[in-house]
């Protein structure tokens, strides 16, 4: 980020290459209708507000805070919109569902899709959907984004122990829901 702020435009490309895929997965896990838009908007805000980055936090923490806020804002806007179900087929009715298309863009989406038994993927998605938003958010930041508990605490403006507790409850709920696959 320091190189970008000093005028090296290629540094932004390096930041994008390093963080875009995990950020896309995070946005998808947060239920963003268009996770690619969240990633794009997050990086646009990095460009517009880069001078506001003081380096007090890691760049990754700052970026996830921006993305989290974008997801929250979109969720508030989308509450009043109706749209197609993620389980609705695309195309002529025989194509992949919107959820399948979304998962293909996610980090780990291929791993879930390529399981010998597609039941695991459906059970995983159902279990994730049942998690409270705070637990799903922490799980996604930790597992999809690779953020530390301290970074998640900073991004969510919560106490680190609260973040750890949310992660523990999320893991327990997922473990209980997916016990048949262990």
Helices (H), 35-108: 35-49, 59-78, 98-105
Q: Is the pLDDT of residue 121 over 90?
A: no
Q: What is the pTM of this model?
A: 0.56
The contacts of residue 27 (CB under 8 Å, 6+ apart) are: 35, 36, 38, 39, 67, 70, 71
- For 142-152, the pLDDT digits (tens) are 988 889 999 99
Would you list the domain boundaries of the chain? 2-82+95-181
Q: Which two tokens stand for residue 159?
A: 């106490």
Q: Which residue has the higher pLDDT, 123 or 91?
A: 123
Predicted local distance difference test score (pLDDT) of residue 79 = 66
Percent of the chain, pLDDT > 70?
A: 77
Q: Is the pLDDT of residue 132 over 90?
A: yes
Please give the Cα distance from 97 to 102 (Å, whole number). Answer: 9
Write down the residue that tokens 């996830």 correspond to. Answer: 64
CB-CB contact of 160 with 149 (8 Å): yes
- For 14-50, the pLDDT digits (tens) are 999 999 999 999 998 888 888 999 999 999 999 998 8
- For 45-77, the pLDDT digits (tens) are 999 988 888 777 889 999 999 999 998 888 877
> What is the average per-residue pLDDT within 3-13?
89
Q: Got the DSSP string for 7-28?
A: T-HHHHHHHHHHHHHHHHHHHH
CB-CB contact of 30 with 39 (8 Å): no
Please choose, from the candidates 77, 76, 101, 75, the residue with its C-alpha nearest in 3D space to the C-alpha of residue 87: 101
């Amino acid at each position: 980020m320091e190189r970008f702020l000093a005028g090296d435009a290629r540094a932004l490309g390096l930041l994008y290459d390093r963080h875009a895929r995990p950020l896309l997965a995070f946005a998808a896990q947060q239920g963003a209708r268009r996770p690619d838009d969240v990633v794009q908007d997050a990086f646009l805000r990095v460009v517009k507000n880069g001078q506001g980055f003081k380096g007090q936090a890691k760049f990754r923490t700052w970026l996830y805070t921006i993305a989290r806020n974008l997801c929250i804002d979109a969720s508030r806007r989308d509450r009043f919109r109706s749209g197609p179900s993620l389980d609705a087929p695309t195309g002529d009715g025989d194509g992949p569902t919107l959820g399948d298309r979304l998962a293909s863009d996610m980090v780990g989406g291929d791993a879930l899709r390529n399981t010998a038994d597609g039941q695991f993927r459906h059970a995983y998605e159902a279990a994730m959907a049942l998690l409270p938003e705070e637990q799903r958010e922490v799980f996604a930041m930790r597992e999809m984004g690779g953020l530390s508990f301290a970074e998640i605490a900073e991004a969510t403006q919560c106490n680190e122990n609260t973040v750890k507790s949310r992660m523990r409850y999320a893991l327990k709920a997922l473990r209980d829901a997916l016990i048949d696959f262990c």
